[in-house]
Amino acid sequence: MPVDVVESIAELRARLADARGDGKSIALVPTMGALHDGHLALVARARELADVVVVSIFVNPLQFGPAEDLDRYPRDLDADRARLDGLGVDLVFAPPVAEMYPEGFATRIEVGGPRSGCTSSGRRSRARRTVTRTGFSRSSSAYLTLLRSPPMTVVKFGPVIPFTGMPL
């Protein structure tokens, strides 16, 4: 049976409320879909570390620059759900763009300080888009919504940037 999908932040919160109330740990594996073995390895690790596993599938327009082809990025929610079948994923969060970036959304994050030198000038805009992807806007970011709500204890943003046991 395919993993259940929710599309709204409100429904996501509602579906996780009992787990939170019971003190269960929740792992989030955020993706842009087109799931591959690397994503599935993160899901498997999340399953080892948490009681509840949520995989987000959101093709983020902010990840794409003007010369990059957002429209051609692969989107096949049914295929992604099939890849997750049997891996212990409790829920897929697949919001539309308007849910993540409602009218009036204006939050952007610039990478600065010691980290700013880690990105070549040609990739700085991509770094900004990637960091902004996580949202950091209370009204628009399901990722931050999940992170803000204890007892979120495990979040995997990929093999490069793991967050484990974040103090929230």
DSSP 8-state assignment for residue 22: T
Q: Is 160 left (phi over 0), alpha (psi -120 to 50) or beta?
A: alpha
Residues 12, 39, 58, 62: which is the catalytic one? 39
Per-residue pLDDT reduced to its tens digit, 7-19: 998 899 899 999 9
Q: Is 39 a catalytic residue?
A: yes
Q: What is the pLDDT of residue 80?
A: 97
How would CATH label the architecture of 5-164? 3-Layer(aba) Sandwich (3.40)
Q: What are phi and psi of 26, to 5 degrees?
A: -125, 130
Low-confidence stretches of the chain (pLDDT beneath 50): 115, 119-120, 123-124, 126-142, 145-146, 148-152, 156-168
Q: What is the pTM of this model?
A: 0.73
